[in-house]
């Protein structure tokens, strides 16, 4: 199975107070760079959705900017399908770790997300047209409505703990495993 990794990075970072994707960790790399490297271990290629980042493939939200995570996912699904990928594995720009157990739990025949971390997901490219239709309709464009619409699997794994970085103090408390 050919997998594309997508870092969803188009958010406003309102609770963080500044662009959290660009926040620099003690090792000199940004939070977004950590997220891309973490998901990159499980996929053939990685794109960044919702922004342009030097040295990375960036995708504009689809169909228009500021659609939230679903706009980034939609862009990734269409890009993946056009490039011959079978599915997209997603992460948020504020998720600097992506354990193998998480990828293994998500990857399957149908869409899946980690309970409590809905940006950590697995999405077959066959959902691209359905997401276009969903985003064209009048709805809240929430990820929860999309999950319900497609009957996504909700993966419950208490052994997979991911950092939740919403405020600068969350970043200050972050302890990452040693890099390769």
Digit-by-digit pLDDT tens for the chain (180 residues) are 999 999 999 766 556 666 788 788 778 888 999 999 999 999 999 999 998 889 999 999 999 988 889 999 999 999 999 999 999 999 999 899 999 999 999 999 999 999 999 999 999 999 999 999 999 998 778 899 999 999 999 999 989 988 877 777 777 777 665 443
Number of domains composing the chain: 1
**Residue 177, domain member (yes or no):** no
**Would you say 10 is a known binding-site residue?**
yes
Compute the half-sphere exposure of residue 28: CA atoms within 13 Å on the CB side of its CA: 0
**Hey, what long-range contacts does 73-77 have (CB within 8 A, 24 or more apart)?**
73/6, 73/8, 73/49, 73/121, 73/123, 73/131, 74/128, 74/131, 74/132, 74/135, 75/49, 75/50, 76/4, 76/6, 76/47, 76/49, 76/123, 77/123, 77/125, 77/127, 77/128, 77/131
- Give buried/exposed letters for 56-76 (b at 16+ CB in 10 A, else e): eebbebbeeeebbbbbbbbbb
**Would you say 8 is a known binding-site residue?**
yes
Domain CATH code at residue 16: 3.90.550.10
CA distances from 180 to 30, 103, 115 (A): 16, 18, 28
**Residue 179, domain member (yes or no):** no
**Would you say 66 is a known binding-site residue?**
yes
**Would you say 19 is a known binding-site residue?**
no
As a residue count, the chain comes to 180
**Residue 111, domain member (yes or no):** yes
**Residue 178, domain member (yes or no):** no
Q: Alpha-carbon distance 13 to 147, whole Å?
A: 23
Name the pTM for this structure: 0.90
3-class SS at 113? strand
Partners of 133 in the β-ladder: none
**Residue 168, domain member (yes or no):** yes
**Residue 84, domain member (yes or no):** yes
**Residue 167, domain member (yes or no):** yes
Q: Are 121 and 111 in contact (CB under 8 A)?
A: yes
Q: What domain range includes position 10?
A: 3-172
Angle (CA) 143 147 151, round 5°: 175
**Residue 180, domain member (yes or no):** no
């Amino acid at each position: 199975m050919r997998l594309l990794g997508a870092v969803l990075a188009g958010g406003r970072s309102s609770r963080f107070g500044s662009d959290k994707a660009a926040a620099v960790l003690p090792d000199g790399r940004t939070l977004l760079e950590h997220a891309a490297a973490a998901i990159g271990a499980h996929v053939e290629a990685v794109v960044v959705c919702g922004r342009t980042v030097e040295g990375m493939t960036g995708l504009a939200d689809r169909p228009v900017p500021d659609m939230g995570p679903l706009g980034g996912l939609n862009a990734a699904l269409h890009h993946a399908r056009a490039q011959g990928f079978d599915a997209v594995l997603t992460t948020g720009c504020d998720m600097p770790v992506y354990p193998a157990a998480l990828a293994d739990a998500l990857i399957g025949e149908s869409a899946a997300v980690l309970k409590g971390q809905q940006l950590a997901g697995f999405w077959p490219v066959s959902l691209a047209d359905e997401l276009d239709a969903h985003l064209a309709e009048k709805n809240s464009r929430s990820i929860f409505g999309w999950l319900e619409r497609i009957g996504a699997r909700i993966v419950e794994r208490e052994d997979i703990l991911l950092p939740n970085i919403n405020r600068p103090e969350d970043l200050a408390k972050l302890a990452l495993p040693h890099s390769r």
